[in-house]
Amino acid sequence: MSSGPVSLPGSQAASPGAGRIERYTFRERICHWLTGFAYLYCLFTGLAFYSPYLFWMAVMLGGGSTSRFWHPFLGLVFAAGVIWMHGIWRSDVALSDADRAWIDEVKSYATNRDDQVPAQDRFNGGQKVFYWAMLYGGVLLLLSGLVMWFPEYVPAGLGWIRPLVVLIHSASALVTIGAFIIHIYMGIFVVPGSIPAIVHGFVSRDWARTHHRLWYDRVTRPSAGRE
């Protein structure tokens, strides 16, 4: 399961046609979009609280009080999504030597000299770095956010913790925003086929071979389906 469930083309009714490989299962896609939309809500309402020049985002989402009311709850949904996602992708996102080699060649990857980039497994080094930035950022956001949710329960002697957690919350949010900008840009613009993959689950063989050769080789071995 953790190595990326694959249903081979034609084997199931869900198959969209010959030559396509299932990259993300239904469960993985639901988990991704649940976490993603919760993050987007927290992003827009959080940016509204971050700067007066972005407060219009809160107005668009129903007003400042409404945004403030739902932000922590959607934050919990995001945290739950990340935990669920970690359960699903834990072994797929562990950093390996291949990822370090990828990170060394990140400049070649970014400038589309892909022949110089080492072959990658299910997720490439950049995707894994993004994953870990969101995971650790999410943990910091959750812990600091819980204190910010109920500041009146911070003991009087620990008053200094309140400004500290606000600083941690905004700093870690900014780290996730940086990672998120790249994630969105890569998915929408740089790697065509990513959006259909995360929406419907399938990629073409060529897509899989080009972007994730090790994964492609692994899941297309004749024995793969029986592992």
Nearer Cβ to other proteins (30/158): 158
Nearest 5°: phi and psi at 202? Answer: -115, 150
Residue 162 contacts other proteins per CB under 8 A: yes
According to CB under 8 A, which one of 14, 158, 174, 199 is a site residue for other proteins?
174
Nearer Cβ to other proteins (30/110): 110
What gap in Å lies between CA 72 and CA 169, rounded to an integer?
12
C-alpha closest to that of 78 among 44, 23, 35: 35
Residue 49 contacts other proteins per CB under 8 A: yes
Quick check: helix, strand or coil at residue 169? helix
Min. distance of Cβ 78 from other proteins in angstroms?
Answer: 18
Non-local CB neighbours of 129 within 8 Å, separated by 6+ positions: 103, 179
Non-local CB neighbours of 7 within 8 Å, separated by 6+ positions: 14, 15, 22, 225
Nearest 5°: phi and psi at 21? Answer: -120, 140
Q: Hunting for tokens 């065509």 — which residue is that?
A: 192
* Per-residue binder mask for other proteins (CB under 8 A), 175-204, x = binder: --xx--xx--x---xxxxx----------x
According to CB under 8 A, which one of 104, 107, 114, 136 is a site residue for other proteins?
114
Residue 12 contacts other proteins per CB under 8 A: no
According to CB under 8 A, which one of 14, 30, 158, 164 is a site residue for other proteins?
164
DSSP assignment of 41-87, as one string?
HHHHHHHHHH-GGGTHHHHHTT-HHHHHHHHHHHHHHHHHHHHHHHH
* Among 7-15, 28-36, 92-100, 128-136, the segment contacting other proteins (CB under 8 A): 7-15
Residue 93 contacts other proteins per CB under 8 A: no
A 10 A CB-CB count for 22 gives 24
Residue 152 contacts other proteins per CB under 8 A: yes
* Among 5-13, 29-37, 76-84, 137-145, the segment contacting other proteins (CB under 8 A): 5-13
Residue 170 contacts other proteins per CB under 8 A: yes
Do 35 and 78 form a contact (C-beta atoms < 8 A)? yes
Q: Hunting for tokens 């400049």 — which residue is that?
A: 107
Residue 51 contacts other proteins per CB under 8 A: yes
Question: Where does this chain bind other proteins (CB under 8 A)?
Answer: 8-10, 18, 48-52, 55, 58, 63-65, 67-69, 110-112, 114, 148, 151-152, 156, 159-160, 162-164, 166-167, 170-171, 174, 177-178, 181-182, 185, 189-193, 204-207, 209-211, 213, 216-217, 220-222, 224
